[in-house]
Amino acid sequence: LVRLRDRLARSGSPLGTRLLAVLSRDHLGEDDWDELEETLLLADVGAGPAAELIEALRTQVRVHGVKDAASVRAMLRAELVALVDPDLDRTLHTTPTVHEDGTKTPAVLLVVGVNGTGKTTTVGKLTRVLVAEGSTVVLGAADTFRAAAADQLTTWGARVGVETVRSFKDGADPAAVAFDTVRTARERGVDVVLVDTAGRLQNKAGLMDELGKITRVITKEAPLTEVLLVLDATTGQNGLNQARVFAEVAGVTGIVLTKLDGTAKGGIVVAVQRELGVPVKLVGLGEGPDDLAPFDAEGFVDGLLQ
Ligand code: GDP
């Protein structure tokens, strides 16, 4: 796993550059505070949180009589960390249940989200991490609407010796594929199942129907350990709208924020966690096999402020 802080720093965050430009001024006047707030808004932190942060910072500056840029910067860092790190459990649950008779119920992670956000890539990267940690894994290609998606997933799996359960019929029932995947994993005593789904956000009823059915058939075989929603960090407020819909239909337990490399829009972390009460658990930092990292609030903020 790459270190979030280093990777974000290397991508040269425009947010950090702008924030630091303002904070390096000798004296912060009304215009400077406005500019700071605007910078946070541009980064998709959201209007409420941005205003609160600026207010908290101004109060501290006033109360402590702080004037130098380094101190303001340290306060900003502390406020940002508090903002991106509310009291949410970021543990990614991938441990199977081992029964007294020695049989195993796999951990089942369902990966949902709109097409193109990076679901398949995320599943591929996560598979590598799990295999490297010594877990056995089976993948389910429940995105049956695009044959290419199943091919892509199969390729990711094959590279680390992991099997992908799929259908070769376009438009096959995704729930049937999901069921077969979990059944296969159970029969073989595999530790973790990752199920990739299609992201057709045609309408809420259709999505609810499809994900509802997938969830129901999976839980006949094993409880769902995680429902991970994949969001593209570059889509800003649109990502937040997607998150609302999926949270409503799929009982999301964690967010994977992809494409954080080279975007100043990471502020969506704040908005999504605040609005849904669901933690960002993983972040995507590129298209490569090792570009996945656990979310860590301090590293994230330091990356922004480099
Ligand atoms: P899906 O339709 O949700 O399964 O999306 P894919 O996994 O096929 O990814 C869509 C595109 O986004 C591909 O070109 C990926 O290589 C790219 N992608 C996925 N994750 C990341 C990331 O973290 N950073 C960048 N830069 N690209 C990513």
Residue-level pLDDT at 288: 94
pLDDT digits (tens, 9 = 90+) for 189-247: 999 999 999 877 667 778 788 899 999 999 999 999 999 999 998 887 788 888 898 89
Rounded to an integer, the average pLDDT of 2-26 is 66
Res. 248: pLDDT tops 90? no
- How far does residue 15's CA lie from ligand 1's centre (Å)? 23
Tokens 């789904």 belong to residue: 197
Is position 196 annotated in a ligand binding site? Answer: yes
- How far does residue 40's CA lie from ligand 1's centre (Å)? 26
Q: What are the start-end ranges of the E strands in the chain?
A: 97-98, 104-105, 107-112, 137-142, 163-165, 192-197, 224-232, 254-258, 280-284, 292-294
pLDDT digits (tens, 9 = 90+) for 99-137: 999 899 999 999 999 989 999 999 999 999 999 999 999
Whether the complex's predicted ipTM is more than 0.95 is answered with: yes
Cα–Cα distance for residue pair 51/39, rounded to 1 Å:
11
Query: Structure tokens of 123?
Result: 């599943």
Neighbour-count burial of 102, counting CB atoms closer than 10 A to its CB (0-12 exposed, 13-18 middle, 19+ buried): exposed
pLDDT: which is higher, 159 or 300: 159
Ligand 1 atom with the smallest distance to the CA of 258 is 23
Residue-level pLDDT at 286: 93
261 lines ligand 1 (CB under 6 A): yes
Residue-level pLDDT at 299: 85
Say what the pTM is. 0.90
Q: Whose CA is nearest to atom 6 of ligand 1?
A: 118
Ligand 1 atom with the smallest distance to the CA of 152 is 8
pLDDT digits (tens, 9 = 90+) for 52-64: 999 998 998 889 8
Res. 182: pLDDT tops 50? yes
Probe residue for ligand 1, chosen from 121, 139, 201 as the CB with the greatest number of ligand atoms within 8 Å: 121
Cα–Cα distance for residue pair 298/64, rounded to 1 Å:
24
Percent of the chain past pLDDT 90, that is, above it, reads 51
Cβ partners under 8 Å of residue 1, min gap 6: 129, 290, 292, 293, 294
Residue-level pLDDT at 189: 96
Per the document, the length of the chain is 306
